[in-house]
Amino acid sequence: MRKEIIVALAGSPNVGKSTLFNVLTGARQKVANWPGTTVERKEGIVEHGEYRIRIIDLPGTYSLTAKSIEEAIARNFIVYEKPDVTIVIVDALALEKSLYLALQVMELTDKVILVLNKMDLADRRGIHIHVKALEKRLGVPIVQTIAVKGVGVKDLVKKILELSIGEAPSKPYKLKYEGLDEYLAPLITSLKRTEILKQFSRKWVAIKILEGDRDIANTISKSGNSEILSIAVKVKDRIKEKTGLEAEVLIVSKRYDEITHILDGVVSYEKVSSEIFTSKIDSLIMHSIFGIPMMFLIFGIMFLIVFSINIGFPLNLIFSSLGLTEWALIIEEYSLSSLLEGFFGYLGVQIANALTFLNTPSWLISLIVDGVIAGIGTVLSFFPLIFLAFLFLGALEDSGYLARAAYISDRILRRISLSGKAFVPLIFGLGCNVPAVLATRILENENERKLTAILAPLIP
């Protein structure tokens, strides 16, 4: 019987986590939901010699402060399930931002492997990372990968085995939060008098309270120690008075200060021609004036292609308005939906003729032809639309434009309690509600997914 190793796969959205998970596990995957939630849970198996590695793909999250269900799931799995190894994937193109999550994971467990993904793109853009120096400063093993090409996957599996059996050294860097001790002291003193949340360090709990961690606050409140939360309010007021910053902002800035210190001398940059070209494109699509028109143009082209291929609309209307009625009819006739409808119509007629020849009762013929076959045809007619929509979404996400479009539209959508990323499913709502609702899966927050799914069908 193989020895089982439990591995948690953590990472921020868009770092290549899902790609690496698929490359590692192949077809040996099981998809379900995390208990009591609608958040998808993926598990995969890798067999290597006498070992059976079970990999759990944690929800993509930027932080481990439980303000959303995804953040709570990721953190609670690491703390309570105690995986043998936790892999944190970081984007070599955005190392500073990616390390923000990695350092928080390293606060909770010593069994950490850091995966530097997209190393080929980093080299192309003139970003040079001195991996050995970074490994020494962070105190954890680092594996370089190019997930889309499967590069580095064998090295990662080997490192998982070494770390799980104690052959690979791992002494993770712990965040110091310099300058916060005077503010944390009253909270730490109060927490030491209680038995709650003993699995965490008192300093870590104090920081999470100040960050507004809902899980921690609820646990303290239910334990009858509400006075700790009252002390936290006073500490927050003191921080605001002395620094002019909210407690949460100050804590985040302290983390980034430490990340900057860690990366000092570890990352070097070189100007390359492709980077200059990319910067020019970035400046155009992120422009304060031209950014939004560019976004509507890009999504408009996507909308035009997806729906024209599937149902002929709105290309048929464009051709009709130009007086090209014959071409408009051809586009409608040879759209994927029309072809599927024609196929199932033909199939229904042939089966009806065959059943009539066999003296089948008319009610049974109607049930099979008008019910089963027509029903399957109707359901399958949505497939090309959904497939094409997600194909384009994947292309936009891989190109990095989806994150930029979310940033551009964030300011507008914040007014209705949505993030900029909700723009994508809302855009699909202009054409069809089915891909619009399905596209809400790209949103990390469950409440945001629900609100967007409710709003999408209301788009005219």
Whether 170 is in a domain gets the answer no
Cβ neighbour number for residue 456 with a 10 Å cutoff: 24
Whether residue 25 is predicted with pLDDT greater than 90 in this model: the reply is no
Residue 135 and residue 132: Cα distance in Å, rounded? 5
257 and 283 belong to one structural domain: no
Helices marked H in 334-416 — which ranges?
336-357, 362-366, 374-380, 383-399, 401-413
Domain count along the chain: 3
Domain that holds residue 35: 3-164
Query: What does the pLDDT average to over 391-415?
Result: 79
78 and 225 belong to one structural domain: no
Chosen domain end from 139, 164, 189 = 164
**Predicted local distance difference test score (pLDDT) of residue 112:** 95
**Predicted local distance difference test score (pLDDT) of residue 137:** 96
Q: Do the Cβ atoms of 105 and 248 come closer than 8 Å? A: no
94 and 38 belong to one structural domain: yes
Whether residue 432 is predicted with pLDDT greater than 80 in this model: the reply is no
- Partner residues linked to 87 by β-bridges: 9, 113
Whether 370 is in a domain gets the answer no
Whether 325 is in a domain gets the answer no
125 and 160 belong to one structural domain: yes
Whether 349 is in a domain gets the answer no
225 and 299 belong to one structural domain: no
Chosen domain end from 263, 295, 324 = 263
Whether residue 37 is predicted with pLDDT greater than 80 in this model: the reply is no
Model confidence pLDDT, tens digit, residues 219-251:
898 888 889 999 999 999 999 999 999 999 999
Chosen domain end from 263, 298, 329 = 263
Whether 297 is in a domain gets the answer yes
433 and 395 belong to one structural domain: yes
192 and 228 belong to one structural domain: yes
**Predicted local distance difference test score (pLDDT) of residue 418:** 86
Whether residue 276 is predicted with pLDDT greater than 70 in this model: the reply is no
Model confidence pLDDT, tens digit, residues 164-223:
888 877 899 999 999 999 999 999 999 999 888 888 889 999 999 999 888 888 889 888
Please report which confidence band the pLDDT of residue 113 belongs to, taking 50, 70 and 90 as the band edges.
very high
Model confidence pLDDT, tens digit, residues 291-331:
888 888 888 888 888 888 888 888 888 888 888 888 888 88
CATH number, domain with residue 204 = 1.10.287
Whether residue 444 is predicted with pLDDT greater than 80 in this model: the reply is no
Whether 318 is in a domain gets the answer no
Q: What is the DSSP string of 223-257?
A: TT-HHHHHHHHHHHHHHHHHHSS-HHHHHHHHHHH
Whether 410 is in a domain gets the answer yes
**Predicted local distance difference test score (pLDDT) of residue 460:** 66
**Predicted local distance difference test score (pLDDT) of residue 425:** 83
**Predicted local distance difference test score (pLDDT) of residue 390:** 77
61 and 113 belong to one structural domain: yes
Q: What is the DSSP string of 161-192?
A: HHHHTT-S---------TT-HHHHHHHHHHHH
Whether residue 34 is predicted with pLDDT greater than 60 in this model: the reply is no
Model confidence pLDDT, tens digit, residues 355-401:
999 899 999 999 999 999 988 988 888 888 778 877 887 788 777 78
CATH number, domain with residue 28 = 3.40.50.300
3-state secondary structure of 85: strand
303 and 444 belong to one structural domain: yes
15 and 148 belong to one structural domain: yes
**Residue with more model confidence, 278 or 337:** 337
Whether 110 is in a domain gets the answer yes
151 and 188 belong to one structural domain: no
246 and 291 belong to one structural domain: no
